[in-house]
Chain A
Amino acid sequence: MRTLSGDHVSLVLSATVALHTNLSDTLVFENEAATLDRLRERLRLFAARRLRNWAEAEDVVQEALRRAIEAEEAGKIQNLAALPAFLFQTVVHICQHRSLSAGREAKALKVMAFQPPAPADESADPLESMITEEQRRNVLRAMERLGAGDRELLDLSYADALDAAEIGRRLGLSPGNVRVRRHRALRRLCELMDVTPEPERGLKR
């Protein structure tokens, strides 16, 4: 199956919209490719959370992007600012539909006493397919280079999934202080991983 990139979708959307609007407006869409790629990563995660299956999540995002193009061509999207919400709702609907279908299929197979083949390993955990081994090593290296305090705070937050109040109780800090330190630790981790530490990442200093 051919994959739709952010560039491709953006081009199609921009060209279609240009037919209905002033051509100068197309300048607005110069950054749409980057925006769509960022959006796409989020949509993949959202779909993977619902389906617990990374490969299916990718299919869902592709399907949502196709529907967005069709909707645009049909003149249903007048304002590209509404595109993220449209795509998100589409992803949710497709996931719901797939879950229902999977449920019906499982019921039918059960009636027929048929055991379906086990799913591929790659779909067992969405995280397995979202983070490559290289990224994993990169994160581990960056974590090792972090200060012990930062590392402890990030582990307590994201590995142990403790809230700020609980971490504060353990470390003798106020919840507000925990959150401030967590943001700083996140920023330092991003810098060590060399991933877009520019201001628009929005991490608080």
Chain B
Amino acid sequence: MSMVDEDCTLPEQKDLAVRYVAGRLGEPDAAAFETHLLSCESCWTEVRTATEVRAARGLDLFVPGPASRGWPWRDTWTLLAAAAAVAVMAIGLRQLAQRGTALPETAVFRSSAAQRITLSASSAGPGRIRLRWPAVPETETYLLEVFASDGATVLERETSATSLLLEDSMLPPRSAGISLFATVEAKDSMHQTLARSERIKLPEP
């Protein structure tokens, strides 16, 4: 009888193990998760380790409570108010831009200028290139663009990760005298640019 389920994504979607050991799951959800734990080695490992970590930190099991290590809890209403203010500002700025007022492109960004991030590329084996960039707070998605030195876009990808593996099969054959470059932009939930990288030249595969 196999109890292995390495591909389980159930807890990842809902942080079930975290909420289970902290007593933050309702009874129906907790019981359903326990049924799942009977046959999922991956989730059980996480639950067991979580109980050990809580014990090591002197915390009770299955006891809900606020964060115990002095982290400030965010005020939901304050966050909502801030989000609304940002949205109003963004809409206003967009309307100003549409009326033809000469605004620089960066004026519709949430800050006056998009932050610079560093994009790096390294070989990840034959025919593979790993692109990496640092995480940007409040980013919903990263937009990666690969383009040729003649300006033609050859690849666009959206991801929530902070790295991407490019394989030769994803890129067009390199013509003589044509190099490939890449940039990445961090976008928030309103698709506003939070940060962008300088373009970098991709190494030859």
- Does A203 contact B45, Cβ atoms closer than 8 Å? yes
- Does B37 contact A131, Cβ atoms closer than 8 Å? no
Q: What residues of chain A lie closer than 8 Å to B71, measured between beta carbons?
A: 156, 160, 162, 170
- List B68-102 residues whose CB lies under 8 Å from chain A: 68-69, 71, 74
Which DSSP category, helix, strand, loop or mixed, fits chain A's interface? helix
Interface size class of A (residues with CB under 8 A): 35 or more
Give the distance in Å from the alpha carbon of A19 to the alpha carbon of B105 in the complex: 81
Known: A80-B1, A139-B56, A173-B135. A204 touches B6 (CB 8 A): yes
Known: A164-B15, A186-B45, A202-B45. A130 touches B137 (CB 8 A): no
- List B23-37 residues whose CB lies under 8 Å from chain A: 24, 30-31, 34-35, 37
Give the distance in Å from the alpha carbon of A80 to the alpha carbon of B2 in the complex: 12
Does B4 interact with chain A (Cβ within 8 Å)? yes
Give the distance in Å from the alpha carbon of A135 to the alpha carbon of B56 in the complex: 8
Residue of A nearest to B38 (CB): A84
Q: What residues of chain A lie closer than 8 Å to B3, measured between beta carbons?
A: 35, 38, 200
Known: A174-B161, A177-B162. A143 touches B135 (CB 8 A): no
- Does B54 contact A127, Cβ atoms closer than 8 Å? yes
Does A201 interact with chain B (Cβ within 8 Å)? yes
Q: What residues of chain A lie closer than 8 Å to B19, measured between beta carbons?
A: 161, 163
- Interface bits B33-71 vs A (CB < 8 Å: 1, else 0): 011011111101111111111111101111010011101
Q: How far is the CB of B56 from chain A (nearest CB, A)?
A: 4
- Does B22 contact A135, Cβ atoms closer than 8 Å? no
- Does B47 contact A139, Cβ atoms closer than 8 Å? no
Known: A158-B21, A202-B6. A143 touches B56 (CB 8 A): yes
Residue of A nearest to B50 (CB): A158
Q: What residues of chain A lie closer than 8 Å to B52, measured between beta carbons?
A: 131, 135-136, 139, 193
Does B12 interact with chain A (Cβ within 8 Å)? yes
Q: How far is the CB of A56 from chain B (nearest CB, A)?
A: 15
Q: What residues of chain A lie closer than 8 Å to B74, measured between beta carbons?
A: 169
What are some 23 contacts across the A-B interface (CB < 8 A)? A46-B34, A84-B38, A126-B61, A127-B60, A130-B55, A135-B52, A136-B55, A140-B56, A158-B21, A161-B18, A162-B67, A163-B18, A169-B138, A172-B135, A174-B161, A174-B162, A189-B53, A190-B49, A199-B6, A200-B3, A200-B4, A202-B40, A203-B42
- Which B residues are within 8 Å of any A CB, using their own CB? 1, 3-6, 8, 12, 15, 18-19, 21-22, 24, 30-31, 34-35, 37-42, 44-57, 59-62, 64, 67-69, 71, 74, 135-139, 160-162
